[in-house]
Amino acid sequence: MNRTKDTIVWLQEKSAIIVFLVLFLISSVRYTQFFTVTNLMNLFRQSSIIGVIAVGMTFVIITGCIDLSVGSIVAVCGIIAAKMCSVNVAAAIFIPLLAGACIGIINGAFVTKLKVPPWITSLSMMMCLRGIAYIMTNESSVNVQKVSVHFQMIGRGEIIGIPVPGILFLLAVLAGAYTLKYTKFGRSVYAVGGNLEGARMMGIRSDRTIICAYMICGVGAALSGLILASRLGAARSTAGELYEMQVIAAVVLGGTLLTGGVGHMIGTLFGVFTMSMITNIFNMQGNISTWWQNVIMGLLILLIVIMQAGLEQIKMKKNRGKILC
């Protein structure tokens, strides 16, 4: 019984790594252009845009909540950065990050203080921010004016051949992993997601923990918006559409349970790489339309959630049987 439970836990934690390795081997054999430095660096760069959001989303999902507004935050913060670039580059970086943090705090406050369900809160925020993005741009692109070298570095720069967005992603993963494993806040995140009432009885300020998790997620989405605006040299009101689905899929594939209380950053890292690799495979195949890619991604998300739910139910039955024995 213990061996079965350990196997289930192992599958939950290592599923992203297993899928990543399988896809990597298949792609290396199937596509000659896959295992090239140029393609791998592009894959790394593309992963960073989803990846920095996924780091923040991991915190939110571990608390037992969800944030569907991250794609719209990407759009709004990218637009703010593009508009601010002509004024001051430092402001173009700092103000969007501050805006993302504030949006995250608002989401968290609605969930904790007003007791609005997380999916309703974030869905409403997603719609409001998308509308604000269209209003700010008048449904057109906002070109980044007077682009400085520093702003270009965020999305297009390289350090010893490694894309700066990828470095930012890895730094975010390391910071997130350290926070979850070694800090009081990280332990509070797991406690709140595992048993909210129990965490409160232990003296953990659950409201503050959830608000901070949403704030981290908002900052991650804002950073993704900066990276995207810098990379494209423009910001669009449609930027970040469906990012929330890709991010959630990557986090759940990495072993984080939607019910909360379980998750880790290394799994999220490989979950992001796996989702980006799937997109990369679609692009190399060349004959799969964007609409069919969305269909496949949607089915993949559903499959991942069903598998996670199935594994969790099996684990619960084993635990129940152990208690009865």
In this prediction, residue 128 carries a pLDDT of: 96
Number of domains making up the chain: 1
In this prediction, residue 311 carries a pLDDT of: 65
Interval 61-69 mean pLDDT: 96
Asked if pLDDT for residue 101 goes beyond 80, the answer is yes
Give me the residues paired with residue 234 across strands: 143
Give 179-225 pLDDT, tens digit per residue. Answer: 999 999 999 999 999 999 899 999 999 999 999 999 999 999 999 99
In this prediction, residue 319 carries a pLDDT of: 58
Q: How confident is the model at residue 8 (pLDDT cuts 50, 70, 90)?
A: low
Q: What's the CATH code of the domain at 88?
A: 1.10.3470
Asked if pLDDT for residue 44 goes beyond 60, the answer is yes
DSSP summary character for residue 234? E
Q: Which domain holds residue 243?
A: 2-324
- Per DSSP, the residues of 148-202 read -HHHHHHHH-EETTEEHHHHHHHHHHHHHHHHHHHSHHHHHHHHHHH-HHHHHHT
Chain-centroid distance, C-alpha 156: 20
Q: Among 33-42, 60-69, 150-159, 244-253, which range has the highest average pLDDT?
A: 60-69
Give 268-293 pLDDT, tens digit per residue. Answer: 999 999 888 888 888 887 777 778 87
**Residues 5, 11 contacting (CB under 8 angstroms):** no
Q: How far, in Å, CA of 42 to CA of 280, rounded? A: 9
Q: How far, in Å, CA of 27 to CA of 21, rounded? A: 10
Helix (H) or strand (E) holding 297: helix 290-324
